[in-house]
Structure 1
């Protein structure tokens, strides 16, 4: 009889405890499930596209922007397109649509997914060419990222310890063109209509050898791994990020904002001056302060301010 009373008492206590705890457990489970389903990515320590946390960022970042040019359905804003066409007059009598049609007969339509995916955590490294990378020892960290963006005439051979040796995306334009390795995405920054024509030529006939200067007539790249930055994206960066400082944004600034729209987390390396305040490329020895800081068309000071604010707001991780 005593054992029966003890057993009944134990069951009663269990029922009382679980009746109070179960709703709490159920609520927590539902909260976690809902929160997970609405998170823009699976990164445990935050996602760029999460609108929370930065009013400054939310006022500039437009998730609807399409950073990559497609063969069709680009929905060009007429004002933005007119601004881009006026950046550098190239004396071309063809329309953008005509030039694009020929280009997409040579390169494959893009397949990269730029939208956020709640089950993915795409960590990207944007690697600039600043001399501040010399002696940094950041090579392994850079190579650990999913996407590794380099630009222009970036050199890795001989500097692997500081800059790494992996590249997934190489940003360039005709006047800064280099051959890219097999498997690497060539990402064209078209500052003028002639640049799109050059890309078509450089991957086929090689007949274009001049823009406003002598350029490579052919470039080594996988035709099915070529991406072209949308001309309208230039105006978006100019309006929202560099705020009309300079005639148009620099390659480095465009690469960072491109990464903000393509990646879930962004780390930035090799931007700014070295420890002595000199501006130079890490593979060069010409350490003259201001060597490429003021180009006449970009505002390095304002762009640097934007990059540091992105770091302060937790939207990028800047490695000095």
Structure 2
């Protein structure tokens, strides 16, 4: 007869182990349910926080759309147009061209971020047509290469350039953009400067007031000379891109554009001006709220709204982003002991700009462009 095997010292530990295992599994299930509930609650809280962030951004964006400085410029422009630019000392032979330019500029005043997708046609096409010797051809000729420049260098005017030797790197880009007639290196007396700032210039980006400083509408003698002074920094063969912060500058534009054999003088599309204004004010408002903890509506306590404006460098960078496959930026920023400008004795920044806000915009443009309001809606 077969003997059955059984021993109390073995059965009891087995029962205890089974009991503990079941208890542990129940505890795990309960913990998982609690964790899931906590996760859903946290996710809901995050969603709520996200919605609040969107609401705050929307409010800041709404405030950024208000531009008293631009409104004042437009009112002055309409007055000048009504008086046929008689206050602007326009040479009679150039007044009609100035009036036509001003009228066209006023007719295109609106906010439309899709202008970014048109910059190749608005800016690169006339530059390339001139370079190809086709100044008299139809402006929409199909034989102009409408692909973006492979690389562009935007050269700012900060004195930090003098502490580095980036000249050869700057000149290696397909298009070199310089600001407000800051000198390039090379030529008589500037050979040493070339190793810091480069020697090539493919596009001069100018604040419209720089045209006024050239004095080309001041006397009949200057006007009859074809305004060689507005091109004195880089020569007749370098195209000029200028934005109009004063409608009277259309007089200088008409004079500087009179000689078709010289490189074109292009006025920025007002839609690009409006886009840049909103971008900079948005970043300035956001910076104000973050640093002060005050409502965005109090931004005017730090900045004079009627004078606030983007810098020439900022609009040059946005322009380059629209016509270049890759953009490199040089000479932007400050360092202790460095000049404000590498070529002047100016000591400080202008109050009408918020350079720190613009630097934040550049960082977002490089690292997370999808987060930039207005620009992300541009189709660019």
The runs of 5 or more residues in structure 1 that have no matched partner are: 1-58, 60-78, 205-219, 316-320
Residue of structure 1 equivalent to 2:155:
127
Aligned to 2:203: 169
Structure having the higher helix fraction is: 2
TM-score after normalising by structure 1: 0.55
Distance 1:237 1:221 in 2: 30
SS of aligned partner of 2:282? coil
1:92 paired with 2:148, answer: no
Count of residue pairs the alignment pairs up:
212
In structure 2, runs of 5+ residues without a counterpart are: 1-56, 58-64, 86-95, 104-120, 127-144, 212-229, 285-302, 371-380
Aligned to 2:266: 227
Match of 2:353 among 273, 295, 298: 298
Report whether the alignment pairs 1:139 with 2:146. no
CA contact (8 A) 1:83 1:235 kept: no
Contact 1:143 1:164 in 2 (8 A): yes
| Shift in alpha-carbon separation, 1:183–1:93, aligned structure 2, 3 A | closer
Corresponding residue for residue 280 of structure 1:
340
Which has the larger Rg?
2
- 1:234 is paired with a residue whose SS is helix
Q: Say if 1:130 and 1:273, in contact at 8 Å, map to a contact too.
A: yes
Match of 2:317 among 245, 248, 256: 256
Alignment of 1:31-42 (within 5 A): none
1:265, CA displacement in angstroms?
A: 0.8
**Matching residue of 1:185:** 239
Contact 1:189–1:229 (Cα < 8 Å) also in 2: yes
Decide whether the 8 Å contact of 1:272 with 1:279 is kept in 2.
no
Q: Taking structure 2 as the reference length, what is the TM-score of the superposition?
A: 0.47
Deviation of the 1:292 alpha carbon:
3.0
The aligned residue for residue 209 of structure 1 is none
The 1:110/1:224 distance shift into structure 2, 3 A limit, reads farther
Q: Is the 8 A contact 1:125 1:148 kept in 2?
A: yes
**Superposed CA RMSD:** 3.9
Per-residue deviation at 1:240? Answer: 3.0
8 Å CA contact 2:152, 2:175 repeated in 1: yes
1:149 aligns with 2:165: no
